[in-house]
Amino acid sequence: MSIVIENMTKSFGGTSVLRGIDLTVDSGELVALLGPSGSGKTTLLKIIAGLEWPNAGGLVVNGSDWLGLAAQDRRIGFVFQHYALFPHMSVRDNIAFGLTVRPRVERPGKAVIAARVDELLQFLQIAHLADRFPGQLSGGQRQRVALGRALAIEPTVLLLDEPFGALDAAVRRDLRAWLRRVHEETGSTTIFVTHDQEEAFELADRVVVMGDGRIEQIGDADQIHDHPATPFVARFMGATIELPVQMHSGRAEASGLDTSRLPRRALPDGPATLFLRPTEIVPVADPGGRWQVVRCASNGAVLRIELSDDAATVHVDLPRRAPEAQGLAVGTRANLRPEAGAIFSDRRAPVPVQSRQQEFPRKEKSL
């Protein structure tokens, strides 16, 4: 099932939460929505699920207009961060639930439901938990059951909203690998929401970076890591250092900065900002250098070096055994040599022409 989202717009009161989202998810694809809290991820999922209605925009799934469909007619599998399993029902009954509440004409027979649940229990590696109750499960086990419940109805689309968010790191890693296998074998079209970069990049075919109701960038891990499309993405991807530079024939220039390792950029001459991660800079000792080492701390593997000039402080991370790390004692003067980095012109980008927005009346929710 392909999902086509066009110019999706949503505000609550006067606050814009989605500011024109355009996104196509291919059939069988696993896409991650990655963004900080409040960027509109959950709102977008709820609109796809029919739990929330947009102010404008289009939502077409496999060629049919979903904004005209009530939530129950969309057949969505949804797993939330805190998924409420029915506490008084066994794991088996929880998973069967979505099938047992189908209208009589569509409801499979008892034996068919039991077989389907057995199959899912095996497939999801939770057969040993079948007769337990949710209160007898760990957090990770509960989320496996929640996914089983979402998959039981053979959903058109699977929506996962930070499903592992409440679990500790080791359990999350296990579940990630498990979910990736489940996805590959079911081939379901899946949207996975997370604010965790590692989770997004490890799981997804494509990652959609969201910030403040907009899509900032769509790409794979390497593209987003190496070529952030906007200052927002650069910061979100760990660029904590921002240095003013002047662009000159595609080169970034500033005193105390050796930018010879950076490729030329197609940017206009004039002021720009260089965004760097602490691991992307080498301090080069120079008695006339602009920066001075003011602190040097080792955690065994990495040397964290703090350098200051009159105006700014930068933190640089070097492998402790790197040749460049030798001789950078406190007091040493140095210049900085970025090995990589993103540059954005400070000249205002042209304001994009607003594309046409289709208005339509709000539909009543019927759940």
Ligand X SMILES: Nc1ncnc2c1ncn2[C@@H]1O[C@H](COP(=O)(O)OP(=O)(O)O)[C@@H](O)[C@H]1O
**Binding residues for ligand X (CB under 6 A):** 12, 17, 35, 37-43
- The closest of 32, 41, 45, 26 to 202, measured between CA atoms, is 32
Q: Closer to ligand X by CB, 42 or 90: give it.
A: 42
Q: Closer to ligand X by CB, 120 or 233: give it.
A: 233
DSSP codes joined into one string, 212-229: TTEEEEEE-HHHHHHS-S
Structure tokens at 221: 């891990």
Q: Closer to ligand X by CB, 236 or 291: give it.
A: 236
* Residue 290 partner contact from Mg ion, ligand X, none using kind-dependent CB cut-offs of 5 to 8 Å: none
Give the position of tokens 């419940």.
149
Paired strand residues for 243: 274
Q: Closest separation between CB of residue 210 and ligand X, Å?
A: 7
Q: Closer to ligand X by CB, 195 or 277: give it.
A: 195
Q: Closest separation between CB of residue 40 and Mg ion, Å?
A: 8
Task: Note whether 215 and 21 are within 8 A (CB).
Answer: yes
Per-residue CA distances from 99 to 92, 105, 366 (Å) = 12, 12, 19
* Residue 38 partner contact from Mg ion, ligand X, none using kind-dependent CB cut-offs of 5 to 8 Å: ligand X
Cα–Cα distance, 341 to 258 (Å, whole number): 13
Q: Closest separation between CB of residue 80 and ligand X, Å?
A: 11
Q: Closer to ligand X by CB, 160 or 252: give it.
A: 160
Q: Closer to Mg ion by CB, 45 or 257: give it.
A: 45
* Residue 39 partner contact from Mg ion, ligand X, none using kind-dependent CB cut-offs of 5 to 8 Å: ligand X
Q: Closest separation between CB of residue 44 and Mg ion, Å?
A: 9
Q: Closest separation between CB of residue 107 and ligand X, Å?
A: 33
Cα–Cα distance, 141 to 138 (Å, whole number): 5
* Residue 86 partner contact from ligand X, Mg ion, none using kind-dependent CB cut-offs of 5 to 8 Å: none
Q: Closest separation between CB of residue 9 and ligand X, Å?
A: 13
- Burial classification of residue 236, based on how many CB atoms lie within 10 Å of its CB (0-12 exposed, 13-18 middle, 19 or more buried): buried
Give the strand order in the sheet containing 64-65.
Answer: 15-25, 3-12, 56-61, 64-65
Q: Closest separation between CB of residue 6 and ligand X, Å?
A: 19
* Residue 12 partner contact from Mg ion, ligand X, none using kind-dependent CB cut-offs of 5 to 8 Å: ligand X
Cα–Cα distance, 305 to 172 (Å, whole number): 32
Q: Closer to Mg ion by CB, 45 or 243: give it.
A: 45
Give the position of tokens 């002047």.
246
Question: Containing H/E element for 304?
Answer: strand 302-308
* Residue 17 partner contact from Mg ion, ligand X, none using kind-dependent CB cut-offs of 5 to 8 Å: ligand X
Q: Is 337 helix (H, G, I), strand (E, B) or coil?
A: strand
Q: Is 234 helix (H, G, I), strand (E, B) or coil?
A: helix
Residues from 20 through 79 that contact Mg ion (CB under 5 A): 41-42
* Residue 190 partner contact from ligand X, Mg ion, none using kind-dependent CB cut-offs of 5 to 8 Å: none
Q: For binding to Mg ion (CB under 5 A), which residues are involved?
A: 41-42
